[in-house]
Structures are given as C-alpha cells and as structure tokens.
C-alpha cells in the first residue's frame, strides 16, 4: 500500500494541478496547497512571465516541487533538488518593523548551477510555513540503491506509473551532456564522459574511427528542430555512437535501446531517449507500458 499520493490521487478538495511524479525510492513527506511568486530570477529557469501562481507544493526526501493549477494561461513549475537548497526560514512583512501584516511565508534559497552570485530566493505561501521549515530541517533519508536497482525493484513490484521512472532512467541514459556539433573536441569529451558514466569501456581511439561529421544549416544556439538543424545534428551523432557500441558487442549483457520521448517527466531540451539496458529490462519496461517504441516517419 502506498504511503504517498500519486498524480491521480490528489485530494479532491485540493486544487487540481499539473502532475508531480514521486521518483522511484522517494516518498512524500509533506504536501499541500500553496502559492509561489515567480520572480525574474526564478523565471530564468522556469521560463514565462513574472507572476504569482496558485497550485500544490510537495516535499520529498530529495525534492521540493511546485506545480501550478490546471488551466493557467502561463503555467510555470519548479523542482528544487534539496542538495542545492542553502537556507530555509519563515519571513513575514511587518508594519513599522513590529507588527506582522500577513502570515509568514516559507523562504527557500536555492543555488542554480548556472547562476553566479547569491542563491535565488523562492517565497512560498502555505497554510503553515513553520511546519514546512520544520520538515525541511529534519534528517533526510539517503538513497543507497543505484538507479538501476531502483528500476529493477520497481519492475519486480509491477510499478506502472510511468512518470516515477524518469529520474532513475535518466541515470541510465546517454549522453546526459551537451555540446555543439561544430566543436569536435567538446563533442568527443562529452560523449566519452557519457559512456564512462554508464560503465562502458571503449578503446582510446573509438570515437576517432567513427564518422561523426554532420552538416547543419542553423547556428549552434538556434533552437529550431528538424532535418538540417543543430538539434538534428546532435541527435545524429548520438545515434551513430549508440549504434556503434551495439555493433561492437552484439552479444553483450547490455545494449542501447531507443524509445519514444513521451515518458512523463523526461528532460526537455530535445533530449533523445537512449537507455543502456539488458534485454530483460527492455522487455519489462515495454511490458508494463513504461516506454514505447519510436514511431517511424511516414
């Protein structure tokens, strides 16, 4: 019996929101309605305009997440890794510095990897900010199982909520890094790092023997998609590496499998879904409907 709500099990009295999927091996510690002010600093990550949104807030061992209520014209969400939270506390506006005008808000300061300077403050309006501060201050459970073990355990238990798998499967994906197709040095370093992260050993000159040159018609920071774009070129380079690895060890314990990119919670930014799996893992993921085959064009 689950001890936490899933995306489809939110209390009917609460505002219905975009889903938050509890990752495999994690659990909800606190959950309730709330509001979050999206400042300009937060919008650099979440996108969209500066505004205050109503929705739901979740606290798990690993994440603090906000999801807006359904139907918002400019929905925004945040998912904060608790390892990057630097400070939490209650703040409340006061009259003449003495009398509180409103109930306290939860302030969470978060260090985004791409932001230089002080951590970014996030102000949450909640029913009891003090309760959230207390929960955030408690000792956390440290996950000791690997991503692969989390996936295997979930498959054994018959877990069918697809979005819960996204975080663990990301750790089994390739390449988990970015580069520009015009820079072969950066490309090769990123590709090798991705292979090493999966425990895949290749000869020193493995990439130099592959044809990874692609002709693209857009700039490196152009976000167009489709044939001839930077996005297409990077995908093509990933495909060539994955197929070469599979050819090099056709009878190996694991191989790369490509899936449709419709897995809820899968990272944005045009990431393809190539996973390093065993044949049994592939069959179980497909059997439970967690992943689907890539649709061929035409």
Residues 104-142 pLDDT 10s: 899 999 998 877 889 999 999 999 999 999 999 999 888
- Is residue 161 scored above 60 in pLDDT? yes
Domain count for the chain: 2
- Asked if residue 233 is part of any domain, the answer here is yes
- Asked if residue 161 is part of any domain, the answer here is yes
Cβ atoms of 62 and 88 closer than 8 Å: no
Using alpha carbons, list the distances in angstroms from residue 247 to 33, 156, 255, 257: 51, 30, 9, 13
C-alpha 44: how far from chain center = 16
Residue that is last in its domain, among 137, 169, 185? 137
Residue 57 φ/ψ, nearest 5 degrees: -120, 135
- Asked if residue 166 is part of any domain, the answer here is yes
Residue that is last in its domain, among 90, 109, 137? 137
178 in the same domain as 157: yes
How does the average pLDDT of the chain come out, rounded? 87
Domain range for residue 222?
Answer: 147-287
Higher pLDDT, 229 or 282: 282
pLDDT computed for residue 8 by the predictor: 43
Residue that is last in its domain, among 106, 137, 168? 137
Q: Which one-letter DSSP state was computed for residue 110?
A: E
127 in the same domain as 241: no
What distance in Å separates the CA atoms of residue 126 and residue 90, rounded to the nearest whole number? Answer: 11
pLDDT computed for residue 49 by the predictor: 80
100 in the same domain as 214: no
pLDDT computed for residue 100 by the predictor: 58
199 in the same domain as 95: no
- Is residue 286 scored above 90 in pLDDT? yes
What CATH number is attached to the domain comprising 54? Answer: 2.30.29.30
Higher pLDDT, 84 or 298: 84
Higher pLDDT, 120 or 267: 120
The enclosing H or E element of 261 equals none
With 0-12 / 13-18 / 19 or more C-beta atoms within 10 angstroms meaning exposed / middle / buried, residue 221 is exposed
Lowest mean pLDDT among 2-16, 47-61, 276-290: 2-16
pLDDT computed for residue 243 by the predictor: 96
- Asked if residue 5 is part of any domain, the answer here is no
Q: What is the mean pLDDT of residues 12-38?
A: 85
202 in the same domain as 116: no
- Is residue 67 scored above 50 in pLDDT? yes
């Amino acid at each position: 019996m689950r001890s936490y709500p899933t995306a489809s099990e939110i209390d009917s009295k609460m505002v219905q929101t975009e889903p938050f999927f509890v990752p495999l091996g994690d659990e909800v510690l606190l959950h309730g309605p709330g509001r979050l002010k999206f400042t300009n600093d937060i919008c650099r990550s979440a996108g969209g305009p500066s505004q205050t949104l109503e929705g739901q807030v979740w606290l798990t061992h690993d994440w603090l997440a906000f999801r807006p209520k359904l139907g918002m014209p400019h929905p925004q969400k945040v998912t904060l890794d608790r390892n990057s939270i630097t400070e939490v506390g209650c703040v409340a506006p006061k009259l003449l510095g003495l009398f509180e005008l409103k109930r306290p808000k939860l302030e969470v300061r978060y260090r985004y990897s791409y932001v230089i300077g002080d951590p970014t403050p996030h102000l949450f309006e909640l029913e009891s900010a003090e309760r959230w501060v207390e929960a955030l201050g408690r000792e956390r459970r440290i996950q000791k199982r690997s991503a692969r073990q989390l996936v295997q355990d979930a498959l054994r238990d018959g877990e069918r909520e697809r979005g819960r798998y996204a975080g663990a499967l990301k750790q089994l994906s390739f390449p988990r890094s970015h580069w520009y197709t015009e820079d072969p040095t950066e490309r090769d370093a990123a590709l090798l790092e991705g292979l090493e992260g999966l425990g895949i050993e290749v000869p020193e000159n493995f990439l130099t023997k592959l044809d990874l040159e692609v002709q693209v018609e857009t700039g490196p920071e152009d976000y167009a998609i489709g044939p001839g774009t930077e996005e297409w070129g990077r995908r093509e380079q990933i495909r060539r590496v994955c197929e070469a690895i599979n050819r090099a060890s056709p009878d190996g314990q694991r191989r790369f499998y490509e899936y449709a990119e419709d897995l809820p919670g899968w990272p944005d930014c045009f990431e393809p879904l190539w996973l390093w799996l065993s044949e049994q893992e592939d069959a179980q993921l497909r059997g439970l409907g967690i992943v689907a085959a890539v649709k061929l064009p035409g």
